[in-house]
């Protein structure tokens, strides 16, 4: 594992909730591969977090393996980065306990995701759902991560992780690095194909609203053909044209063409031609990911080898941190 001392450490956790959307891919995931050159990267499929809502055990196991395979298919190289399954590194849960004792009930009560999720899952407001952000803080602090790539929905949790770290440092002496959010320079926001004023989301009720990165070519093209646009017919970026703006953003992201280039490419052509071209370009762009994924998911032995090595490397880092934490809080040293 070529983790070097002079690079900053990036930690990110990914929920094992099936496949990623085109929005996740363009906005975040495809930028992760290149990061491996400049940072020490640690990626974890967060199955411990997943069980804060009811899961079917067989499905969770399958989704976890799929998410892991997808991470590698998207360019995370297990020789360059540490990629592992969260429950395989016991130190996350252990550190989480200590951090829970430096977190206030009031702080957790203020988390908007807790409020949203407890309203949504009103029949199962379990303690894990409440302490979810503490486990997330443990994920990050166990590596003394410098940077955490997150979307806006996780900003409050990262802020809490910083507060927990700062409080621990104040009580027990400077120790944890305060993690910063990592906002990639590139990374456009991709909107729903059916309601382009809303973010593309896989939980959308309308399956045509969202492209999944493992959708086959025909499905992708069909979804783009049905994309909602406006009543004009000129392919150009502009106010009140959020459907076309979104398609142009997507086309630009996968072809590298500028908006002006796109407008001249489709001059004199209608929206139909443009939608088809976007669908084809997206399908072609995602083809290598689909192929790599199919190969990986068929090779369970290789996957196992990768995630086993991943958790071994992860544990080497976190064991040291945890030993120091245990000493600092006053536990008797083991050896």
By CB under 6 A, name the binding residues for ligand TRP.
11-13, 15, 46, 49, 136, 139-140, 148, 150, 154
The residue among 12 and 63 lying less far from ligand TRP, judged by its C-beta, is 12
Q: Please confirm, yes or no, whether 80 is among the known catalytic residues.
A: no
Min dist CB 133 to ligand TRP, Å, is 8
Residues 113 and 107: their CA atoms lie apart, in Å, by: 12
Min dist CB 334 to ligand TRP, Å, is 27
Answer whether 308's CB lies under 8 Å from 82's CB: no
**86 alpha-carbon distance from chain centroid:** 14
The residue among 46 and 297 lying less far from ligand TRP, judged by its C-beta, is 46
The residue among 47 and 215 lying less far from ligand TRP, judged by its C-beta, is 47
The residue among 50 and 303 lying less far from ligand TRP, judged by its C-beta, is 50
Answer whether 47's CB lies under 8 Å from 16's CB: yes
Q: Please confirm, yes or no, whether 115 is among the known catalytic residues.
A: no
Min dist CB 288 to ligand TRP, Å, is 25
Q: Which two tokens stand for residue 147?
A: 């940077």
Angle 91-94-97 from CA coordinates, rounded to 5° = 150
Residues 184 and 154: their CA atoms lie apart, in Å, by: 15
The residue among 129 and 140 lying less far from ligand TRP, judged by its C-beta, is 140
Q: Which residues contact 331 (CB under 8 A, 6 or more apart)?
A: none
Q: Please confirm, yes or no, whether 117 is among the known catalytic residues.
A: yes
The residue among 165 and 227 lying less far from ligand TRP, judged by its C-beta, is 165
Min dist CB 241 to ligand TRP, Å, is 31
User: Measured at CB, which residue is nearest to ligand TRP?
Assistant: 13
Q: Which of 117, 223, 241, 275 is catalytic?
A: 117
Q: Which two tokens stand for residue 87?
A: 């429950």
Nearest to 130 by CA among 148, 111, 155: 111
| DSSP bridge partners of 184 | none
Q: Which residues contact 130 (CB under 8 A, 6 or more apart)?
A: 108, 114, 118
Kindly report the number of other CB atoms within 10 A of residue 153's CB atom.
11
Q: Which of 80, 202, 257, 328 is catalytic?
A: 202
Q: Which residues contact 198 (CB under 8 A, 6 or more apart)?
A: 191, 192, 204, 209
**167 alpha-carbon distance from chain centroid:** 27
Min dist CB 14 to ligand TRP, Å, is 7
Min dist CB 140 to ligand TRP, Å, is 5
Q: Provide the annotated active-site residues.
A: 117, 199, 202
């Amino acid at each position: 594992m070529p983790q070097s001392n002079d690079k900053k450490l990036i930690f990110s956790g990914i929920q094992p909730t099936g496949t990623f959307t085109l929005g996740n891919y363009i906005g975040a995931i495809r930028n992760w591969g290149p990061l491996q050159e400049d940072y020490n990267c640690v990626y974890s499929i967060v199955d411990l977090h997943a069980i804060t809502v009811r899961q079917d055990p067989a499905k969770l196991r399958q989704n976890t393996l799929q998410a892991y395979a997808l991470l590698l298919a998207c360019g995370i190289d297990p020789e360059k980065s540490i990629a592992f399954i969260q429950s395989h590194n016991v130190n996350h849960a252990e550190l989480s306990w200590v951090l829970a004792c430096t977190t206030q009930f009031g702080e957790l009560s203020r988390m908007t995701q807790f409020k949203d999720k407890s309203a949504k899952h009103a029949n199962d407001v379990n303690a894990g759902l409440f302490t979810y952000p503490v486990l997330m803080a443990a994920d990050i602090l166990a590596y003394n991560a410098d940077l955490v790539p997150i979307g806006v929905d996780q900003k409050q949790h990262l802020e809490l992780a910083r507060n927990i770290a700062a409080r621990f440092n104040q009580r027990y002496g400077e120790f944890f690095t305060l993690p910063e959010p990592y906002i990639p320079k590139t990374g456009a926001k991709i909107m729903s194909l059916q309601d382009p004023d809303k973010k593309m989301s896989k939980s959308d009720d309308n399956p045509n609203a969202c492209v999944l990165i493992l959708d086959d070519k025909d499905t992708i093209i069909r979804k783009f053909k049905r994309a909602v646009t406006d009543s004009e017919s000129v392919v150009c970026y502009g106010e009140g044209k959020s459907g076309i703006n979104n398609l142009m953003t997507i086309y630009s992201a996968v072809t590298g063409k500028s908006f002006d280039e796109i407008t001249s490419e489709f001059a004199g052509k209608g929206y139909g031609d443009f939608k088809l071209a976007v669908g084809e370009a997206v399908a072609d762009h995602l083809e290598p990911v689909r192929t790599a994924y199919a190969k990986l998911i068929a090779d369970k032995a290789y996957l196992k080898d990768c995630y086993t090595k991943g958790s071994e490397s992860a544990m080497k880092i976190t064991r040291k941190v945890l030993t120091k934490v245990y000493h600092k809080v006053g536990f008797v040293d083991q050896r």
